[in-house]
Amino acid sequence: MTRPPVTPTSDREPTAIQVFGVHGIGEVRPGDDLAALLKEEDLRDGDIVVITSKIVSKAEGRVRQGSDRTEAIEEETDRVVARRGDTVISQTRHGFVMAAAGVDASNTEPGTVLLLPEDSDASARRVRAALGGRVGVIISDTFGRPWRHGLTDVAIGAAGVRPLEDFRGGTDTHGNPLNATVTALIDEIAAAAELVKGKLAGVPVAIVRGLAHLVTADDGPGVRPLIRPADEDLFRYGSRDVVFARRTIREFSSAPVDPEAVRRAVAAGIAAPAPHHTTPWRFVLVESAETRSRLVDAMREAWIADLRGDGFTEQSITKRIRRGDVLRNAPYLAVPCLVMDGSHTYRDDRRNAAEREMFVVATGAGVENFLVQLAVEGLGSAWVSSTMFCRPVVREVLDLPESWDPMGCVAIGHAAAPPRDRAPRDAADFYVTR
């Protein structure tokens, strides 16, 4: 095929871009040298080679025997983002958020599934080096897009191609400042290459010509700059998984807590159900470091006094009061309180006790909403309920009305490390049917 040359008007903007499919590659097997399959091509300095990840996976032996795709998805998943029926959106250990953790049962032999390359950036670097380093290389895969139908190819690995174009700090043609415009160049190139590859045409590689100004002398950072960290993802939890996002965090980093995030968690807390259309929740947000220290010290002294009165040894007391360490080390505390405003008074103690229990349950529902929303906000938390053993002390330190009943203390902050996995629980062990 005769390919007309491209003459850019400058070193930044070409007059035209050409995209060619590479035909005749055939079935790729484990151990195949992808670069060797491309060396016969008329590659020119500044070309960008876009390779479908499937053939990279095949060449690297990322073929899993067995047709159980569900098990493979679980093994490749670092975090489940959302589920609906059999559809799972997962974050892989590479940081990609995608359907089925990138596990693919198409274009592979029956009884096998394909896994993503172990390190697509490294794969791209190896191919580029074998091709002489004068071209850019992109490894692409197909992703869905939130809020849009249809799939498109994006880059999951790259070498020798500038990944982003950052326009922030510049102005548009009308002089308006650009504050958020960062273009994903390698994703745009991957999508353009897919136009000539296609899903059924058996063309797994394309050459993009005319973008030599994006090809770099070194391998560059790969796709890392495009991967949004989970704590920056506003939609990182699906509706079915958000409850499980709440984990008890006992070690916090020094990162400050955004008070507005805690206030949004309070708004979630007071959305809980309550009896008689009441609002039995009050949240004391302890934002002063001095007040936090006084509160934890006062509770600690009250706990020690109680334990000594109960005859515990000093060794046992030291062990038991370690519950307060998570509160002392947290950068932010919240004290959920119960108020009985709007409760009914009955003639007998049995119904009055049940009335209080209804309000306690409603407060617990509010606390759980609060903890879950903290997780949605990217904050870790630990609920220390033993505050209830020293309610008068808490009221005194925080200057609370007598009618406010402290129901615990919540330590809040950014997790210093990922939480440990939950112990497995089978829901069937916790219900009966009648």
Question: Is residue 13 very low, low, confident or very high in pLDDT (cuts 50, 70, 90)?
Answer: low
Q: pLDDT tens digits, residue range 135-192?
A: 999 999 999 888 889 999 999 999 999 999 877 667 677 777 766 678 899 999 999 9
Inter-residue contact 137 to 131 (CB < 8 Å): yes
Residues 157 and 264 placed together within one structural domain of the fold: no
pLDDT for the residue numbered 4: 36
pLDDT-derived band at 422, boundaries 50, 70, 90: confident
Q: pLDDT tens, 286-343?
A: 999 999 999 999 999 999 999 999 999 999 998 888 877 899 999 999 999 999 999 9
Lowest mean pLDDT segment, chosen from 69-83, 116-130, 373-387: 69-83
Residue 369: the pLDDT is: 96
Give the range among 203-207, 238-242, 406-410 with minimum mean pLDDT: 238-242
The answer to whether residues 215 and 272 belong to one domain is no
Residue 137 is part of which domain span? 18-232
CATH number for 334:
3.40.109.10
Note whether 31 and 89 are same-domain residues: yes
Closest to 306 measured CA to CA, from 406, 393, 383:
393
Does a structural domain hold residue 61? yes
Task: Please state, in angstroms and rounded to a whole number, the distance separating the CA atoms of residues 363 and 408.
Answer: 11
Q: What is the pLDDT of residue 241?
A: 73
Band of pLDDT at residue 8, cut at 50, 70 and 90:
very low
Q: Report how far apart, in Å, the C-alpha atoms of 141 and of each of 57, 86, 88 are.
A: 11, 21, 17
Q: Are 168 and 262 in a shared domain?
A: no
The pLDDT score that the predictor gives to residue 249 is: 93
Of 419, 371, 412, 390, which is closest to residue 321 (Cα–Cα)?
A: 390
Per-residue model confidence (pLDDT) at position 138: 98
Boundary (domain end) residue, out of 176, 211, 232: 232
Contact in structure between 116 and 92 (CB atoms under 8 Å): yes
Pair (117, 155) in one structural domain: yes
Predicted pLDDT at 324: 79
Rounded mean pLDDT, 196-202 = 75
Higher pLDDT pick, 192 / 235: 192
Average pLDDT, the chain: 89
pLDDT tens, position by position, 371-399: 999 998 989 999 999 888 999 999 999 99
Q: Are 213 and 259 contained in the same domain?
A: no
The rounded distance, in Å, linking the Cα atoms of 99 and 202 is 23
The whole-number average pLDDT for the span 264-284 is 96
Asked whether residue 76 falls in the same domain as residue 98, the answer is yes
Band the pLDDT of 10: cuts 50, 70, 90.
very low
7 pLDDT band, cuts 50/70/90, is very low
Q: How far is the CA of 327 from the CAs of 87, 245, 409, in angstroms? A: 40, 21, 8
- Going by the DSSP 8-state scheme, the letter that residue 104 receives in this structure is B
Which of 277, 264, 282, 212 has its CA nearest to residue 412? 264
pLDDT of residue 146: 81
- Residue 9: count other Cβ atoms within 10 Å of its Cβ: 8
Give the pLDDT of residue 219.
96
Write down the pLDDT at residue 15.
66
Q: At CA 398, angle to CA 393 and CA 400, rounded to 5?
A: 90
> Could you read off the pLDDT of 293-306 as tens digits, one per residue?
999 999 999 999 99
Q: Are 323 and 306 in contact (CB under 8 A)?
A: no
238 inside domain: no
Residues 141 and 279 grouped into a single domain? no
Domain count, the chain: 2
56, part of any domain: yes
Assigned token pair, 362:
């409603």
- The token duo for 194 is 């897919």
Q: What's the average model confidence in pLDDT over 356-377?
A: 95
Return the pLDDT at 188. 95
Separation of alpha carbons 167 and 259, rounded Å = 31
* Angle in degrees, 0-180, between the axes of helices 391-398 and 289-309, rounded to the nearest 10: 160
Same-domain check for residues 228 and 248: no
Whether 44 is covered by a domain: the verdict is yes
**Comparing 107-116, 149-158, 410-419, which segment has the lowest mean pLDDT?**
107-116
DSSP track, 114-157: EPPPS-HHHHHHHHHHHTTSSSEEEEEEEEEETTEEEEEEEEEE
C-beta separation of 116 from 57 below 8 A: yes
Structure confidence at residue 68 (pLDDT): 77
Using CA atoms, how far apart are residues 88 and 244, in angstroms rounded to an integer? 15
Please compute the mean of the pLDDT values over residues 65-93 and round it to a whole number.
Answer: 84
CATH of the domain at 216: 3.30.1330.100
Most confident of 21-25, 46-50, 304-308: 46-50
Query: Same domain for 202 and 283?
Result: no
Token representation of residue 374: 């903290």
Same domain, 349 and 386: yes
Mean pLDDT of 1-7: 35
| 210 and 323 in a common domain | no
Paired sense of beta strands 136-145 and 48-52, if any? parallel
Sign of the Cα pseudo-torsion (33, 38, 40, 45, in order): negative
- Would 293 be classed as within a structural domain? yes
